[in-house]
């Protein structure tokens, strides 16, 4: 009996160590995993934790029996204090006795509540999955990406949660930069040189936000008193899934807008598919002559910071290049103007435009 009193904790400690080693290995390997493997791993982890809860429950029951049953009186003999200390140190800190008791009393399904370790693992999984989805978007044509997001809206949500997390780390968000551009330039009247093109009679500007994410641009431009001139904005926000009511679901290679209906077309970090030339073509189609194309992209997408090749391709597609602004540390911005009909007719509609995928670092 006395022996049992000592052996039980040591066995438990060994098992704890084994479990911790297993989890550490899983944690190190998670970064290399993708897709379904990640999902399987999360399920395995859950199973592990459920089994652990069951074991803990048995342990609690056993120790309760041991201390409460007078037949086990010897078990009440105090353990050697140094051994006790060692055992205490080896016990997982995240499982204080009260939490353990509460767990033992809770029904089975509550094991889905995540422990700190599971939470950490889940964050790693989300990070890994975000990078995986991101890579798919940059290395597939838009039809495939569109299909994935239509069939699995949860993948889209995962991507956007990850993207939001990335944006929070950036010193500047390019969407805000475009919002400022509108504000600054609206000091001038519509269609004035250096201003914003628009419908002067109606004091209105029509904007298409291609690959809008959460349609923040539409939200900001619709704010009361956005422009001192009380210019009205009609913003069409397109993305592959409807994160909110402002968004119209569409593949940006084919959006539901008539020809020559917009004054400004924005691509903010949205040139993601391998068929990105289709997106530019679509932008040109819906743009009025003298309308603006605004593009922001991550600098690392341009091999050796070669912006000129990209610019030349867009010039050949019928756009006049106005500015390249690479003053920001992370982003480069371009402004193009749609040429008049005559010039635009001579354009090359199918140039090979290649940009490197944007690979986000591990968190």
In the complex, the residues that contact ligand SAH under the rule CB under 6 A are 137, 142, 145, 163, 174-175, 211-213, 238-240, 251-252, 268-270, 272-273
Residues 136 and 34: their CA atoms lie apart, in Å, by 11
Residues 42 and 36: their CA atoms lie apart, in Å, by 10
Residue 56 phi, psi dihedral angles, 5° rounding: -60, -40
From the CB of 199, what's the least distance to ligand SAH, in Å?
Answer: 24
From the CB of 217, what's the least distance to ligand SAH, in Å?
Answer: 7
From the CB of 210, what's the least distance to ligand SAH, in Å?
Answer: 7
Name the DSSP letter for residue 324.
E
Nearer to ligand SAH, 8 or 155 (CB): 155
Residues present in the chain in total: 363
Nearer to ligand SAH, 252 or 286 (CB): 252
Beta carbons of 261 and 286 less than 8 angstroms apart: yes
From the CB of 15, what's the least distance to ligand SAH, in Å?
Answer: 45
Nearer to ligand SAH, 175 or 196 (CB): 175
What burial letters (b/e) apply to 37-51, b meaning 16+ CB within 10 Å? ebeebbeebeebbee
CA distances from 115 to 8, 29, 119, 241 (A): 25, 20, 6, 32
> In the sheet that 247-249 helps form, which strands lie side by side, from edge to edge?
247-249, 232-239, 204-210, 262-268, 287-298, 331-338, 319-325
Nearer to ligand SAH, 66 or 149 (CB): 149
Nearer to ligand SAH, 207 or 212 (CB): 212
Helix (H/G/I), strand (E/B), else coil: 319: strand
Beta carbons of 117 and 95 less than 8 angstroms apart: no
Nearer to ligand SAH, 33 or 137 (CB): 137
From the CB of 299, what's the least distance to ligand SAH, in Å?
Answer: 15
53: left (phi over 0), alpha (psi -120 to 50) or beta: alpha
Nearer to ligand SAH, 30 or 212 (CB): 212
What are the CB-based long-range contacts (under 8 Å, 24+) for 53-56?
A: 53/103, 53/104, 53/111, 56/95, 56/100, 56/103, 56/104
Q: What is the token pair recorded at 199?
A: 């419908």
Q: Name residue 249's beta-bridge partners.
A: 239
From the CB of 270, what's the least distance to ligand SAH, in Å?
Answer: 4
From the CB of 255, what's the least distance to ligand SAH, in Å?
Answer: 8
From the CB of 137, what's the least distance to ligand SAH, in Å?
Answer: 6
Nearer to ligand SAH, 190 or 243 (CB): 243
């Amino acid at each position: 009996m006395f022996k049992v009193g000592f052996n039980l904790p040591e066995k438990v400690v060994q098992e704890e160590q084994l479990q911790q080693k297993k989890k550490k290995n899983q944690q190190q390997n998670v970064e290399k995993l993708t897709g379904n493997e990640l999902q399987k791993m999360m399920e395995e982890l859950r199973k592990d934790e459920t089994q652990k809860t069951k074991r803990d429950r048995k342990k609690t029951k056993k120790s309760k029996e041991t201390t409460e049953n007078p037949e086990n009186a010897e078990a009440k003999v105090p353990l050697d204090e140094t051994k006790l200390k060692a055992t205490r140190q080896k016990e997982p800190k995240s499982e204080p006795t009260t939490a353990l008791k509460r767990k033992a009393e809770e029904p089975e399904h509550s094991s889905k509540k995540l422990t700190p370790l599971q939470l950490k693992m889940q964050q790693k999984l989300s990070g890994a999955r975000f990078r995986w989805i991101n890579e798919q978007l940059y290395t597939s044509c838009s039809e495939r990406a569109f299909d994935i997001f239509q069939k699995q809206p949860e993948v889209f949500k995962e991507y956007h949660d990850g993207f939001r997390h990335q944006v929070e780390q950036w010193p500047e968000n390019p969407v805000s930069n475009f919002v400022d551009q509108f504000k600054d330039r609206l000091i001038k009247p519509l269609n004035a040189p250096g201003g914003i093109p628009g419908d002067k009679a109606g004091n209105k500007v029509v904007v298409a936000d291609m690959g809008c994410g959460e349609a923040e641009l539409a939200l900001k431009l619709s704010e009361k008193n956005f422009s001192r001139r009380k210019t009205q904005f009609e913003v069409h926000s397109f993305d592959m899934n409807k994160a909110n009511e402002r968004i119209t679901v569409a593949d940006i290679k084919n959006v539901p807008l008539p020809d020559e209906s917009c004054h400004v077309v924005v691509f903010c970090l949205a040139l993601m598919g391998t068929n990105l030339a289709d997106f530019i073509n679509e932008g040109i189609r819906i743009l009025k002559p003298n309308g603006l194309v605004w593009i922001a992209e991550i600098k690392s997408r341009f091999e050796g910071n070669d912006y000129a090749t990209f610019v030349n391709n867009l010039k050949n597609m019928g756009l006049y290049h106005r500015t390249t602004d690479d003053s920001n540390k992370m982003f480069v911005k371009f402004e193009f103007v749609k040429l008049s009909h005559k010039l635009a007719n001579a354009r090359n509609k199918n140039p090979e435009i290649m940009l490197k995928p944007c690979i986000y670092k591990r968190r």
